[in-house]
Amino acid sequence: MCGIVGYLGNRQAAPILLDGLSKLEYRGYDSAGVCVYSDGELKVAKAKGRLANLSGLIDGGNALKGTFGIGHTRWATHGAPSDVNSHPHMADAGKIAVVHNGIIENYLKLKEELIRKGKHFRSETDTEVVANLIEYYYDKLQDFPRAVRRAVGQLEGSYAMGILCQDMPGTIIAVKKESPLIFGFGDGENFIASDVPAILKYTRKVVYLNDGDTVIFTKDKARFYDAFYDPVEKVPETIEWDIDAAEKGGYDHFMLKEIHEEPKAVKGTLSPRIRDGRVVLDDISLTKEYLQGLKKIYIVACGSSNYVGCLGKLILEKTCRIPVEPILASEFRYADPVLGEDTLVLIISQSGETADTKAALVEAKRQGARTLAIVNVVGSAIAKEADDVIYTWAGPEIAVATTKAFSTQLSVIYLIALYIADLLETIRPEEYRDLVAELMSLDQKIALCLTEDKIAQIRYYAEQYFNVHDAFFIGRNLDSAICLEGSLKLKEIAYIHSEAYAAGELKHGPISLIEEGTLVVAVATVEALFDKTMSNVKEVRARGAEVFGVTTEKFAEEIKKTIPSMITVPETHPLLQPSLTIIPLQIFAYHMALLRGCDVDKPRNLAKSVTVE
Query: Considering only 217-225, 262-270, 394-402, 456-464, which stretch makes contact with ligand AGP by CB under 6 A?
Result: 394-402
Q: Is 609 in the site for ligand AGP (CB under 6 A)?
A: yes
Q: CA-to-CA distance for 382 and 409, rounded, in angstroms?
A: 15
Spatial contact of 382 and 372, defined as CB atoms under 8 Å apart:
no
Query: Taking the mean position of all CA atoms in its chain, how far away is CA 61?
Result: 32
Indicate the residue whose CB is closest to ligand AGP: 303
Nearer of residues 402 and 551 to ligand AGP, judged by Cβ: 402
Q: Is 229 helix (H, G, I), strand (E, B) or coil?
A: coil
Whole-number minimum distance, CB 347 to ligand AGP, in Å? 9
Spatial contact of 178 and 102, defined as CB atoms under 8 Å apart:
yes
Count of residues in contact with ligand AGP, rule CB under 6 A? 15
Query: Considering only 84-92, 233-241, 350-358, 590-598, which stretch makes contact with ligand AGP by CB under 6 A?
Result: 350-358
- Which letter does DSSP use for residue 284 in this model? -
Query: Considering only 75-83, 162-170, 192-200, 299-307, which stretch makes contact with ligand AGP by CB under 6 A?
Result: 299-307
Backbone φ and ψ for 608, nearest 5 degrees, come out as -70, -35
Nearer of residues 235 and 612 to ligand AGP, judged by Cβ: 612
Whole-number minimum distance, CB 302 to ligand AGP, in Å? 4
Q: Is 304 in the site for ligand AGP (CB under 6 A)?
A: yes
Q: Is 182 in the site for ligand AGP (CB under 6 A)?
A: no
Kindly list the distances between the CA atom of residue 370 and the CA atoms of 342, 383, 419, in Å, as whole numbers in the listed order. 8, 14, 17
Report the residue from 101, 350, 551, 579 that binds ligand AGP according to the rule CB under 6 A.
350
Show Cβ contacts of residue 569 under 8 Å, excluding neighbours closer than 6 positions.
Answer: 445, 448, 449, 525, 550, 551, 552, 553, 577, 580, 581, 583, 584
608 part of the active site:
yes
Q: CA-to-CA distance for 558 and 551, rounded, in angstroms?
A: 10
Nearer of residues 34 and 415 to ligand AGP, judged by Cβ: 415
State the DSSP string of 70-119. EEEEE--SSS-S-TTTSSPEEPTTSSEEEEEES-BTTHHHHHHHHHHTT-
Q: CA-to-CA distance for 160 and 176, rounded, in angstroms?
A: 4
- Per-residue x/- mask for ligand AGP, residues 481 to 500, rule CB under 6 A? -----------x--------
Q: Which of 2, 302, 320, 449 is catalytic?
A: 2
Query: Taking the mean position of all CA atoms in its chain, how far away is CA 373?
Result: 16
Q: Is 330 in the site for ligand AGP (CB under 6 A)?
A: no
Nearer of residues 348 and 547 to ligand AGP, judged by Cβ: 348
Q: Is 303 in the site for ligand AGP (CB under 6 A)?
A: yes
CA angle 498/500/503 to nearest 5° reads 135
Report the residue from 22, 166, 190, 357 that binds ligand AGP according to the rule CB under 6 A.
357
Q: Is 269 in the site for ligand AGP (CB under 6 A)?
A: no
Report the residue from 214, 351, 477, 568 that binds ligand AGP according to the rule CB under 6 A.
351
2 part of the active site:
yes
Kindly list the distances between the CA atom of residue 180 and the CA atoms of 4, 89, 161, 296, in Å, as whole numbers in the listed order. 10, 19, 10, 42
Burial (CB < 10 A; 0-12, 13-18, 19+), residue 459, is middle
Burial (CB < 10 A; 0-12, 13-18, 19+), residue 194, is buried
Report the residue from 18, 98, 103, 302 that binds ligand AGP according to the rule CB under 6 A.
302
Q: Is 372 in the site for ligand AGP (CB under 6 A)?
A: no
Q: CA-to-CA distance for 410 and 304, rounded, in angstroms?
A: 11
Report the residue from 12, 55, 402, 525 that binds ligand AGP according to the rule CB under 6 A.
402
Nearer of residues 101 and 351 to ligand AGP, judged by Cβ: 351
Report the residue from 131, 182, 400, 514 that binds ligand AGP according to the rule CB under 6 A.
400
Binding site for ligand AGP (CB under 6 A): 302-305, 349-351, 354, 357, 400-402, 492, 609-610
Cite the active site residues.
2, 608
